Amino acid sequence: MFARTQRLLLRPVWPEDAENLFSALNDQGIVCNLARAPWPYSRDDAHAFAARAQDPLYPHFLLTLPGDAGQTLVGSCGLGNHDGEAELGYWIAREHWGKGFATEAARAVIANAWMLGHRKLIGSHYIDNPASGAVLRRLGFKPTGVIRPRFSAGRGSEAMAQEYTLESDMVDVERPLAA
């Protein structure tokens, strides 16, 4: 599955992406805010992620710049199965922070989620990463009021995470999500 936004090409992860993935994600400041990526992040971890089979109901994408044949890795965004619910997740390489890429990519992933038949998405962020919470709110996610510990492989421990939800009937598909 592929998606295109104004500035990004969202495409599957291929085995040959492992080295670029390692270079982009081998950053403790990024990995500590992810639930599943371990720290230190190794080349073996990148190869394992790049070789992982795509689940058609929970696609994940690499975010690339289309003008360079998809070689510049901006980050990743996709859906995962978290306790039976579709969860939105994303990360952006440090040199691309603050440019709106997470919001732009997530809008495309959310549109795909609705087309795949998901009617509710969940998201969360560690409370010491408020920028991720700002992305979720820009996308229309609403805080559930639940803040609870969630394991972070990058931290090697639990950290407090704020939970959010977005239901398909909360979004006017004819009107773009707020910028």
* CATH number, span 3-170: 3.40.630.30
Domain locations along the chain: 3-170
Instruction: Taking the CA atoms of 34, 127, 58 and 91 in sequence, report the sign of the dihedral they define.
Output: negative
Encoded tokens for 149: 């510990």
- Mean residue pLDDT of the chain comes to 93
Task: Name the H helices within 97-151.
Answer: 101-115, 130-138
pLDDT digit string, tens, across residues 80-118:
999 999 999 999 999 999 999 999 999 999 999 999 999
